[in-house]
Amino acid sequence: WDFHAWNMAYNISVAVPNTQWEERWRWVRNGYELLRDKAIPLNPKSILLYRSMAWIFQHKMGGVADDCHRHYKRELALAMRALLGDPETNETFAKLAEAPKDMDAMLQDPGVAPLIDKLRASDKAFAEADNKSFVANYLALRQNPQKFNPKTFAVIDEFRGTDALDRFDLFARAFQLRNEWKMDIAFMQELNKKYGRTNIDDPNNRQPLNWEHPDAHAIYWAVLGLKVAGRPGQYLIDEKNTDRIVFHGLQALYRQGDIILYGAPGELPTVFLQPDLQMFDSCNELWKQDIAKYEALEKGNPKAVRGGHANFLENAVELFYRAGHKKKAGEIYLQLRREYSTGSHSSDYSMPMVEFVHARITEELDKISDKDAAEQILMSLHEAYFQYAVRRDSEAESRENWAKDIYALYQKKYGEGEPGRMGLPSFELIRYAAFMAFMNDQNYPDILRRNLAARIQLERPELFKQLMEQDKNFRDMIEKQSQQFPQSETK
């Protein structure tokens, strides 16, 4: 089972040209569906199969090794968004968990039965469908009504806004999760409570995992494997590898678990991955649990593991500070002081947090040239433009402020406050360069770039004016250079 699943998901899929992403995606699905639908039900105590299932989601779909990985991420995200909503909430999961598990309950519902009868009468696709196909057709109808008889969507319009349609819609989504995706909604809720996102300002407010992300599914199958097929009191290699998938899955959700789907109407959206700082608390808790597990089960030296945790916390202080969450950054810094000021991996955390962050930046700037410093500032501003384009204004502001901080620290240390002293251009020029880099970046859809320029012009006219002035100065400089050094005529 493991060999055939791997062969389809990895070997056969990449034998297909990357221009045919739909065909590649079909073979990736064939691989994990073989494990999910046949191998695991027949061998429920084989932890290897759960690990392999999780690995396809984490590495093949969640990683970047396959040229088509963004297509896989998009298709999974769209499928989950249709079933779980956007955003996913604890309330939605509670309703899905309580939804009836079979069609008989819907047929016996006096409000829903007429809806089902009218759908069957409106289109052959519904009239001849079994229960599983009926639900799949209904969900497809809600997403792509043009694929069905116009009379069919008229039935939806007739019932729109009614409790009957809401009840059937909830049933259909839960049915699809249980029967197509083979997922236990109650178990998903358990994982949400244990590993879900926590509000940065209120750690007691825990929201669901982002099930649009492949690593959430990797965690599901890995934890299910540990629960069903793990051996308490032992720590065999397959269990250790499965355990690592959970750990790396949470790390991936923290580093790039925020999925943005952006596209023009009628087009497949482009996928962008961003850090999800709301995953920090879950990652931090698992770090501490793994340290305890490592010490108890392997009698091992925890120095390397603890060192990794300290580095994780140090990076988190800077990351939250950069994002404008200074209160949370301070809380993490206090944890560093408590847990790592003494012992085998002790460091000096006595300085104030702001000085600690600035010291890290300064240390990094000491290692790079003025060109690299300008590149760091440019990339931070580039990211700010993206966040502003997708209307995440607070994130855009924090990244712009971070770019200003880097610039100010560099100029204070090397330029004595004079722009250009050490070869660093003015901040305005770097901001213009970042804007032009974004506007010419083919990784972003045309509509996103056009919308950014239009929004800056409308909502930040002073910035737009500055950018246009820099553009004029740049073009004047090019024109002047071309006059001073005219190109020789070809004979």
Sequential DSSP letters for 40-54: HHH-TT-HHHHHHHH
pLDDT of residue 268: 92
Average pLDDT, the chain: 91
Average pLDDT for residues 92-103, to the nearest whole number? Answer: 97
Average pLDDT for residues 207-215, to the nearest whole number? Answer: 98
Average pLDDT for residues 109-115, to the nearest whole number? Answer: 98
Residues linked to residue 197 through DSSP beta bridges, in sequence order? 207
* CB contact set of 262 (below 8 Å; sequence gap of 6+): 269, 270, 272, 390, 445, 448
Is residue 424 a part of any domain in this protein? Answer: yes
482 has a pLDDT exceeding 80: no
300 has a pLDDT exceeding 90: no
Domain count, the chain: 2
Is residue 346 a part of any domain in this protein? Answer: no
pLDDT of residue 101: 96
Q: What is the percent of the chain with per-residue pLDDT over 70, rounded to a whole number?
A: 92
- State the Cα–Cα distance between residues 430 and 377, nearest whole angstrom: 7
pLDDT of residue 346: 65
Among 126, 159, 187, which residue terminates a domain?
187
pLDDT of residue 490: 45
For tokens 């069905």, name the residue. 148
- Which of 261, 279, 256 minimizes the C-alpha distance to 328? 279
CB 432 within 8 Å of CB 474: yes
Is residue 149 a part of any domain in this protein? Answer: yes
pLDDT of residue 299: 63
Is residue 442 a part of any domain in this protein? Answer: yes
Enclosing domain of residue 122: 89-187
488 has a pLDDT exceeding 60: no
- Which of 21, 34, 89 minimizes the C-alpha distance to 61? 21
* CB contact set of 369 (below 8 Å; sequence gap of 6+): none
Backbone angles phi and psi of 263, in degrees to 5: -170, 165
Alpha-helical segments (H) within 299-441:
303-322, 326-340, 353-366, 370-389, 393-410, 427-439
Among 142, 164, 187, which residue terminates a domain?
187
Is residue 419 a part of any domain in this protein? Answer: yes
Strand (E) positions, 74-219?
197-198, 206-207
Beta-strand relationship, 258-262 and 206-207: unpaired
- State the Cα–Cα distance between residues 311 and 471, nearest whole angstrom: 42
Q: What is the percent of the chain with per-residue pLDDT over 90, rounded to a whole number?
A: 75
pLDDT of residue 491: 40
Is residue 124 a part of any domain in this protein? Answer: yes
pLDDT of residue 367: 78
pLDDT of residue 480: 73
422 has a pLDDT exceeding 70: no
pLDDT of residue 235: 63
- Max intra-chain CA distance, the chain: 88
CB 294 within 8 Å of CB 320: no
Among 171, 187, 203, which residue terminates a domain?
187
Is residue 117 a part of any domain in this protein? Answer: yes
Is residue 326 a part of any domain in this protein? Answer: no
CB 245 within 8 Å of CB 219: yes
